[in-house]
Chain A
Amino acid sequence: MSAAFPSVHAVCRPGSFAGEKRGPPPAAASGKLASGFLGSAWKLRFGALPARRRGSSSVVVAVSDVVKEKKPKRSSSSSSDLLITKEEGLELYEDMVLGRTFEDMCAQMYYRGKMFGFVHLYNGQEAVSTGFIKLLKQEDCVLGHYRDHVHALSKGVSARAVMSELFGKTTGCCRGQGGSMHMFSKEHNLLGGFAFIGEGIPIATGAAFTSKYRREVLKEADCDHVTVAFFGDGTCNNGQFYECLNMAALWKLPIVFVVENNLWAIGMSHLRATSDPQIWKKGPAFGMPGVHVDGMDVLKVREVAKEAIGRARRGEGPTLVECETYRFRGHSLADPDELRDPAEKAHYAARDPIVALKKYILESNLASEAELKAIDKKIDEIIEDAVEFADASPIPPRSQLLENVFADPKGFGIGPDGRYRCEDPKFTEGTAHV
């Protein structure tokens, strides 16, 4: 376990930023973190807890050798140590562009009245979803939160199915019964889509438990399925997070806890909500590696993800990964986003993960501008098609209302006539009162 993660930090590419500079002496670390990591809220941090900050930092460095930057050797970006192949680079690029374009289209469709409710867009955070999920197999499970469209897309759910779901159509991945915050796909092992903070983490822990159970109780030796749970910085102050870190480490479950730390829980700054804002440090506290990674850099995320997923697959237990990222839009499309400091937004906008990957691909001569443009065009077409498909799809009929309340519709019980109520034609028609 100790050998696993230091390599991550050897792979930083030029233009890396403060987020992954950790490990140096505590005082220096605090200073650097404050300027880069955690945006504009640093003032509060120093104002509030200067002494304790220093003390706890040093403890963590001592505890968590897995996250230490042992040798920040910077072999300059010669093409000999490229981090990805061309195919990988293009796959990552395509997935991130897909996520971004899809979300931008959602905003348009929302304002055009094609979708309703709370719609939370993922813009800016694509490197996290892509960096992790593109390393997974179909059998591996993914769980997201309410900002889940892009997790679904990365996991392979079609843009058509997700867009249709958002339009509330029968062709949606949940037949229009889930909506923006409840994306599921059994085929792709996307287990949600959870709208309440933290409630997906126990579910993810359960999915990881099943993998272990299949391997050890059912003796399915080849079951090496991994579960990846995504959640935000706000969730890391919720009990379920800690309860599940404990259980996952206790039973060495094959799970990766991925924190998408975008610094804001709606309007609550991470630093105003959290006594020790370095979330990755909570991993070692439970006996699992905690890693902090620049969540605006898909290549770094991918490197960390590889290690963490590999650990889980090998049966070595869970990992906590904190990805420092940022959302480019308000909390939801209903949020005017007036609270966050424009300078903070600009700081992160300049570090757009898609732009960064594009730059890397071009500078490393992995692909040409034309090839990337072709991908952009392909994605535009996919999204256009998804909208057309969703628009043309039928709305759910009345008869759908009472389906899926129970997996076994006998759960509706026995009616006055002695027959199971689900046999009443009104149930099939969806007009019964239940």
Chain B
Amino acid sequence: MAAAVFQGFGASTALSLSKSFDSKRVKLPFGRSLSERRASFVVVGSDGRVVLDSSRARKLVTNAVATKGDSAAATSASKPGHELLLFEALQEGLEEEMERDPLVCVMGEDVGHYGGSYKVTKGLATKYGDLRVLDTPIAENSFTGMGIGAAMTGLRPIVEGMNMGFLLLAYNQISNNCGMLHYTSGGQFKIPIVIRGPGGVGRQLGAEHSQRLESYFQSIPGIQMVACSTPYNAKGLMKAAIRSDNPVILFEHVLLYNLKERIPDEEYVLSLEEAEMVRPGEHVTILTYSRMRYHVMQAAKTLVNKGYDPEVIDIRSLKPFDLYTIGNSVKKTHRVLIVEECMRTGGIGASLTAAINENFHDYLDAPIVCLSSQDVPTPYAGTLEEWTVVQPGQIVTAVEQLCK
């Protein structure tokens, strides 16, 4: 991923407002009204926050697409915050949470001395010791189960799948015990665990290391799934996932670890359930997440040049969907394009299509179009691999068709 992300500007300016807002929401018990949320929600910023005035929303448009001159100013070095890569943002979030809560610990293959296969846990073993940053044997089902047992008895473990695909070997633990045990125990045991790791189609890594597992995990009851796509949301989602009492699967993408972005110096935590408005627009709603966000934004440039005004939303929460943000967009544009890297059959896009049809059918002026990756094992050869996932050109064509 060559494209840097330009969105730090809106993030830091909206910070103080959203912080108090977030904390208010976190404390709300089951059953209490969240009317303030409805009242204040005009636009969700690219950082997942409430943006109250429309002039700021305009600014976000330009930031997100990075085509207009003023976006450069937004990312200049004089701005507050600090610049880091996505894997460093994850590490920063992790480290902050470990600092804050001694019950937070990490386990997985090579997370300790080696620092993690993508360096997300770099330096943590030195700082926190081998028990808090536990290098495990290569036994995915067992160390994942061990994380769950530790979570049941009071710890807050983060289990790293060295590659998300390896977690197929832990599927039973993730499904039966992570997902269902809170329910079968009648609510007695909580499983505050985060399962995370690199996934998605990389650069010719071969079928097993290039899996799109969202579809596999989404049917498990009792689990939340989020996908990060920028350093800013990576850190904020990591922290939110660690603090959640629910088991959370955090999807990272192998090709996004080196994305650079300026993020606030102040502490922030994002909502696990909210989508992120990347680029407000009028003509069509494009729902995407993870790496495909960048293919969409690349296509958006072309589309803007061709006179289209697409609205781009990074759904971020793969389960559950943020039906408010999505719905508002559908009600505005009346057209939906979903762009995902997930498998076509039974994928996130399929679920999203169903959810939109069920909830917002009356607002649709055209059938929903869903661009997914092909239902094939990810091929090794570069050309074949490229044809497996959705490319920007396809997105442009799809929007043109949809807006005819």
Contact = CB atoms under 8 A, between A and B. Distances in A.
Interface of A: 141, 172-179, 182, 184-186, 191-196, 199, 201-214, 216-218, 239-240, 243-244, 246-247, 250, 403-423, 428
Interface stretch (B27-35, B207-215, B291-299, B367-375): B27-35
Nearest to B138: A243
B314 interface: no
A186 B327 contact: no
From B143, B145, B324, residue with most partner A Cβ within 10 Å: B145
B59 interface: no
A417 B142 contact: no
Contact of A405 (B141, B143, B153, B221): B221
A210 B155 contact: yes
Contacts, number: 215
B290 to A, nearest CB: 18
A177 B183 CA distance: 7
B43 to A, nearest CB: 12
Interface string B168-200: 000011001100011111111111100000000
Interface residues on B, range: 35 or more
B229 interface: no
B186 A177 contact: yes
Contact of A246 (B34, B137, B244): B137
Contacts of A419: 33-35, 37-38, 324
B377 interface: no
A420 B24 CA distance: 14
Nearest to A240: B142
Contacts of A212: 131
Contacts of B154: 210, 214
Contact of A420 (B105, B147, B273, B321): B273
Interface in B126-156: 129, 131-132, 136-137, 139, 141-155
Nearest to A189: B153
Nearest to B185: A184
Given A205-B146, A243-B139, A413-B320, A174 B184 contact: yes
A405 B183 contact: yes
Contact of B149 (A177, A193, A205, A406): A205
Contacts of B321: 413
B192 A243 contact: no
Contacts of B317: 413
Query: What 9 pairs across the A-B complex have the smallest Cβ distances?
Result: A206-B149, A202-B145, A413-B320, A174-B186, A243-B142, A175-B186, A184-B185, A404-B187, A203-B149
Contacts of A203: 145-146, 148-149, 152, 177
A202 B146 contact: yes
